[in-house]
Amino acid sequence: MLENPMRHILLVLAALILGVSTAQAKVVGKEVTYTANGVTMKGYLAYDKDIKAKRPGILVVHEWWGHNQFARKRALLLAGMGYTALAVDMYGNGKTADHPDDAGKFAAEVSKNMPVAKARFEAAMKLLAKQPTVAPGQIAAIGYCFGGGVVLNMARAGEDLKGVASFHGVLATDSPAQKGKVKAKIAVFTGEDDPMVPKEQIRAFTKEMDDAGVDFRLTSYPGAKHSFTNPDADQYAKKFNLPVAYNAEADQDSWKKLGEFLDSLFGPRP
C-alpha cells in the first residue's frame, strides 16, 4: 500500500529539520572578553564540541559596522567546517554603529592608529591561541570591508599567521609590504564594480605583493559591489544610499574558495 504523499513529504521535512538541528547542536558559540591596553574587548568564540583533536584557529574581523551578528555567523560557519573561530572586537566594549557616519568614525580611529589596531588584533590572536581546541601555531585570519583591510595590514606587519583572506576590503595602505617580512599567504576577494576598491587600487596591490614576493591570490567578481557577502547590504544601500549590494553568487563562490584556501594552509578538515 502506498504511503500518503503529503505525509511522506512532511516526514522528510521533519527528518531534514531534525538533522540540521542535530548538526548545529555540535557547534558551540559563546561570548568571551579580553583586554588590549586596558580596554575591554568583547569577542565571540565558536567551535565544534564533538571534535576532540586540536584544530586550526581562525580570527574573523568585522565590517566597519563593528562586531555584529554577521561576524558571528561567519565564525559559526567556520566552526562547522572544523575550525575554532573567534569573531574579534576591534572597536572595544563590543561597540557597533547603526549609521555610516559613526561606522566611518569608528573605523578611522582604528585604521589610522596602527599601534592600537595591532594591539587589539594581537590580544585576540593570543586569546584564540590559548584555547584548548586550537593547535599551536596554526592561526589564520579573515576580514570583511574594514576587517579585510585590517587583516591585510596585519600580514604586512609580519604577524605570525599562516594566511589571511580579505573580502571586499580596502587594498591601499600607508605601509606597503616589504620583501621577506610577510609570513602569511594571502587571498583577496573583491568586486569589479566596487567604487571603494577601484581598478587602480587592485593594480597597485598586485604590484605591491609581487614586489614583496608574497604568495597571494586575487579573485575579482564581475558586477559585484562593495559588501557583496553581506545579505544586509541591500538594506544599507536603500536606507543610507550607499554603493553596496549583496551578490549571492560572489558570496557563495568566495566562501567556497576560502575553504580551498584554508585547506591549502592546513590540509582538509575531517
pLDDT at 9 over 60: no
Q: What is the pLDDT of residues 208-249, one digit of tens each?
A: 999 999 999 999 999 999 999 999 999 999 999 999 999 999
Q: What is the pLDDT of residues 146-203, one digit of tens each?
A: 999 999 999 999 999 999 999 999 999 999 999 999 999 999 999 999 999 999 999 9
Report in angstroms the alpha-carbon separations of 93 from 35, 41, 83: 9, 5, 25
Answer yes or no: pTM beyond 0.85. Answer: yes
Number of Cβ atoms within 10 Å of the Cβ of 32: 17
Confidence of residue 116 (pLDDT cuts 50, 70, 90): very high
Q: What is the pLDDT of residues 20-69, one digit of tens each?
A: 333 445 999 999 999 999 999 999 999 999 999 999 999 999 999 999 99
Structure-block grid coordinates of residue 208: 605591491
Q: What is the pLDDT of residues 67-109, one digit of tens each?
A: 999 999 999 999 999 999 999 999 999 999 999 999 999 999 9
State how far Cα 120 lies from the chain centre: 16
Report in angstroms the alpha-carbon separations of 92 from 33, 149, 201: 10, 18, 30
Structure-block grid coordinates of residue 214: 608574497
Report in angstroms the alpha-carbon separations of 134 from 86, 121, 160, 206: 11, 17, 15, 32
Interhelix angle 100-111/114-129, nearest 10 degrees: 90
Residue located via cell numbers 568583547: 42
End-to-end Cα distance, the chain: 42
Q: What is the DSSP letter of 66?
A: B
Handedness of CA 216, 138, 25, 81 (dihedral sign): positive
Domain boundaries, the chain: 27-266
27-266: which CATH architecture?
Answer: 3-Layer(aba) Sandwich (3.40)
Residue 93: what residue type? N
Q: What is the DSSP letter of 4?
A: P
Structural element, H or E, at residue 69:
helix 69-80
